[in-house]
Amino acid sequence: MKSKLTFLPALAFAALSITPGTAAVIISDSFDGSSAVALNGQNATTFSSDITTAGGSATWVAGSVFRADGTLPGSGDVDASAALSVGSYINDAKGTANGVFTLTSTISQVAGASGANSWIGMTFFTGTYFKDDPLFKNNFAVGVAIRRAAEGTTFFDYIQSPGSVGTSYVTTDWGAVGAADATFTTVLDLSGWNGTDSFGSIEFYLNGSSTPDAVANLTSDYDFSLVGLSYNQNASGTVESFSLAQIPEPSFLPLVLLSSLAVLIRRRR
């Protein structure tokens, strides 16, 4: 049973008496750079040396539309992605008690001239990475959470498998474009992985919900080599924050969700 999440994580931590170290933020970025500077080539704010040891890199590889302050200007019909390599770090945790990860991002005010095809999302990347393509084009994303602009309404889409709509797909009407920011949390649980008939599961949470908005079992063995963001067709908006956290024990799932929210409180501009 998962604990109720709130947007006052400091109070939640005190109430639950969380022991330091029960959940670890291993990657984070608050996007404090300039809109005049490309995100490509910039380093994440926090990046664990253990991930570097596993072959990962703190340097963003991103299409030119992504800016260092997290803004996406929505200029032209552009498709792009932005990713950080985690090397073998996530894959090495498969089938272990440490194999539970949460990916969290806050995305604000998505609009776009191309309607339903305009979106900003976060995901685990798998396979070959293309910074100048959206995540679906080359079948290289698993566990996608999208903020989409469509005919005056913002939608949230949760997609489990790479390339197209997977076994778990949810669309939630959130109201008028720009009405609120969205904080996505995707929980990737690989602790039960055995490489044969159990490949893990994904849960999707929106704005600190106490129960997942969607749940899916992975049906294949994926290579989780990158984490990041993706963009499609004229979307304008801001990625306020981004993080990857790891849970030392699967029983600490509620704690790491709170930890992610604590790190990723939307910065005031």
Range of the domain at 46: 9-263
Is residue 269, in this structure, part of any structural domain at all?
Answer: no
Look at residue 268 in the predicted model and tell me its pLDDT.
Answer: 42
Is residue 2, in this structure, part of any structural domain at all?
Answer: no
pTM: 0.80
**Residue 265 class from Cβ within 10 Å (0-12 exposed, 13-18 middle, 19+ buried)?**
middle
Look at residue 16 in the predicted model and tell me its pLDDT.
Answer: 29
Q: What is the largest CA-CA distance in the chain?
A: 49
CA-CA-CA-CA torsion sign (191, 225, 86, 45): negative
Return the higher-pLDDT residue of 135 and 231: 231
Is residue 80, in this structure, part of any structural domain at all?
Answer: yes
Range of lowest pLDDT (127-131, 161-165, 259-263): 259-263
Range of lowest pLDDT (110-114, 117-121, 248-252): 248-252
Look at residue 257 in the predicted model and tell me its pLDDT.
Answer: 46
Is residue 24, in this structure, part of any structural domain at all?
Answer: yes
220-257: pLDDT as tens digits: 888 999 999 988 877 888 999 999 999 874 344 444 44
- Asked if the model's pLDDT at residue 190 lies above 60, the reply is yes
Is residue 4, in this structure, part of any structural domain at all?
Answer: no
Instruction: Please state, for a pLDDT cut of 70, what percent of the chain lies above it.
Output: 68
Can you give the CATH number for the domain in which 226 is found?
2.60.120.560
Look at residue 269 in the predicted model and tell me its pLDDT.
Answer: 46
Look at residue 105 in the predicted model and tell me its pLDDT.
Answer: 95
Residue 117 in tokens: 């095809």
Closest by CA to 191, choosing from 64, 99, 259, is 99
Look at residue 143 in the predicted model and tell me its pLDDT.
Answer: 84
177 touches 110 (CB < 8 A) = yes
- Asked if the model's pLDDT at residue 39 lies above 70, the reply is yes
Amino acid in the structure at residue 50: D
Look at residue 110 in the predicted model and tell me its pLDDT.
Answer: 73
139-172: pLDDT as tens digits: 678 888 888 776 556 666 777 665 444 444 556 6
The average pLDDT across 100-117 equals 81
Is residue 245, in this structure, part of any structural domain at all?
Answer: yes
pLDDT confidence of 132, banded at 50, 70, 90?
Answer: confident
- Asked if the model's pLDDT at residue 67 lies above 70, the reply is yes
61 strand-pairing partners: 83
Tally the domains of the chain: 1
Look at residue 99 in the predicted model and tell me its pLDDT.
Answer: 96
Other C-beta atoms closer than 10 Å to the C-beta of 247 total 25
Is residue 60, in this structure, part of any structural domain at all?
Answer: yes
DSSP state of 111: E
pLDDT confidence of 115, banded at 50, 70, 90?
Answer: low
Return the higher-pLDDT residue of 158 and 32: 32
Is residue 220, in this structure, part of any structural domain at all?
Answer: yes
The average pLDDT across 10-38 equals 67
CA-CA distance, 25 to 218, in Å (whole number)?
Answer: 24
